């Protein structure tokens, strides 16, 4: 079975070798027929501490690395520095 890959934004990089990624999904509400946004946070492994808050990253399912970490960062884009 292929591993899931999700895209999200880094919301925290305070931990060592770990980033917290917010993944947002959009769907149509079954009754109201409006587009609804829901988000969920995932802890992902970042071996080189390369990603910081605001960066867009892709995370992939991985074997459990700790109590909360079951994802690993595979690629990403740095946020444009102003």
pLDDT digits (tens, 9 = 90+) for 55-75: 999 999 999 999 999 999 999
Residue given tokens 């802890």 in the structure block: 43
Strands 56-61 and 35-45, sheet pairing: unpaired
Residue 79's pLDDT band, with cuts at 50, 70 and 90, is confident
Is the per-residue pLDDT at 81 higher than 80? no
Is the per-residue pLDDT at 80 higher than 90? no
Full-model pTM: 0.89
Q: What confidence score (pLDDT) does residue 19 get?
A: 97
The pair of three-digit structure tokens given for residue 75, joined into one six-digit string: 């690629």
Q: What confidence score (pLDDT) does residue 1 get?
A: 81
Output 79-82 pairs: Cβ under 8 A, ≥24 positions apart: 79/52, 79/54, 79/55
- Say if CB 36 and CB 46 are below 8 A apart: no
């Amino acid at each position: 079975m292929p591993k899931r890959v999700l895209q999200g934004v880094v919301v925290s990089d305070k931990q060592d070798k770990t980033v917290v990624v917010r993944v947002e999904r959009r769907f149509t509400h079954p009754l109201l027929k409006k587009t609804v946004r829901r988000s969920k946070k995932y802890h992902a492994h970042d071996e080189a501490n390369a990603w910081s808050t605001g960066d867009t990253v892709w995370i992939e399912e991985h074997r459990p690395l700790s109590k909360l970490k079951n994802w690993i960062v595979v690629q990403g884009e740095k946020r444009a520095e102003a």
